[in-house]
Structure 1
Amino acid sequence: ADRLDRYRNVEPDTAELLGVLIRAVGARRILELGTSNGYSTIWLADAAQSTGGHVLSIELDPQRTEQARANLAAAELEDRVELRTEDAGVVLAGGADGAWEFVFLDAERPAYPGYLPDLLRTLAPRGVLAIDNVRSHAHELVEFTALIEREPRLTQTVVPVGAGLRLAVLDSG
């Protein structure tokens, strides 16, 4: 269990779906909150390479950031990713309005309710917000789920892939 906690990775089918979505919407400005060791980041970066895009990936743990850096280098995708060891909430708060076309949220779940206003502000019109672990950790996401499901500017669904992936698209107007 300790090893699994250290290397929090998305399921392969979730990673594949994220890559397909980025390609489908042509996202070029991609934000990942919760890098871990970079497994999901590799999928995001691979998709970004096909769209001509770039990934900003945020991780609080410096050891995980360095693991991700090594993994991205091994995958020869480091030129598509900026890795930062920083608090996700700080990055979101400092982000420009409409900055991100695709956001993958897989960070510290108790912080999600506080992230929501800045997630919505920094998401571009028709931007995609993908949130992992919504089924496996539903008990940790009760407050966030209640908030996001009441958000009238989002069209959303939960996809039964991996640990459960909520997909939300911000309305264009």
Structure 2
Amino acid sequence: MTNTVFLQRIADLYDEFKQHDARQSDRLRRYRNIEAESAKLLAMLVRTQQSKRILEIGTSTGYSTLWLAEAAKTVQGRVLTLEINAFRSAQAKKYAEDFELEGFIDFWVGDAADYLKQAMEPFDLILLDAERGSYVSYWEDLKRLLQSSGSTLIIDNVISHPAEVKPMLELIKQDEHYMSSILPVGAGLCMVVVK
């Protein structure tokens, strides 16, 4: 069960991140973390699916990483999180240490496309929350990593940025091996599962 101390600390951290973003006029300087309700849903999915191998594409400062790791801890799972910005990844690692969750997270710094091209072992749950213009180029590699029945891909920002994710959602719809549904949670999540 998610403990009260974690919930209070993560709520405070979320507020801190939101305040930071509100002060930034440049989009790229914002942390752009996932919405609180979306992060909570992801943690619930990890628990209900007993997701042992979790991949996060786009760490930012690690807000969603903390939720995923806290849930992974309860199911003896692990999170691998990919981030192109070394400074952001280091920030996320520090928060993981502060929350005593670093033992459940592997941090990988670099272009997600490079990691995805060489990755072979499937994941139980993948969160895609990075630069949306790259999503289409990830699809073939993501399919290889979603081989297991019950493997789930979650794509964030599908309601808040529909035009930017439309090409990816169209690709998924055209693939007979996958089912998808839009969940009106946070900025909008698309849940994709292997049929």
TM over 0.5: yes
Partner of 1:153: 177
8 A contact 2:62–2:93 mirrored in 1:
yes
Correspondence for 1:41 among 53, 60, 65: 65
- Match status 1:28 vs 2:56: no
What amino acid sits opposite 1:120 in the alignment?
A: K
Larger helix fraction of residues: 2
Give the TM-score, by structure 2 length: 0.84
Cα deviation, residue 142, structure 1: 2.0
What amino acid sits opposite 1:45 in the alignment?
A: A
Correspondence for 1:54 among 61, 74, 78: 78
Gaps of 5+ in 2: 1-23
8 A contact 1:101–1:124 mirrored in 2:
no
User: What secondary structure does 2:176 align onto?
Assistant: coil
Return structure 1 stretches of 4+ with deviation > 3 angstroms. Answer: 1-5
What amino acid sits opposite 1:136 in the alignment?
A: S
8 A contact 2:173–2:179 mirrored in 1:
no
Partner of 2:145: 122
Q: Map 1:25-104; keep pairs closer than 5 Å.
A: 25-97=49-121, 99-104=122-127
What amino acid sits opposite 2:123 in the alignment?
A: W
Tell me which of the two structures has the higher relative contact order, counting C-alpha pairs closer than 8 angstroms and 6 or more residues apart: 1
Partner of 2:9: none
Cα deviation, residue 123, structure 1: 1.3
Partner of 1:140: 164
What amino acid sits opposite 1:11 in the alignment?
A: E
Q: CA RMSD in A?
A: 1.2
Gaps of 5+ in 1: none
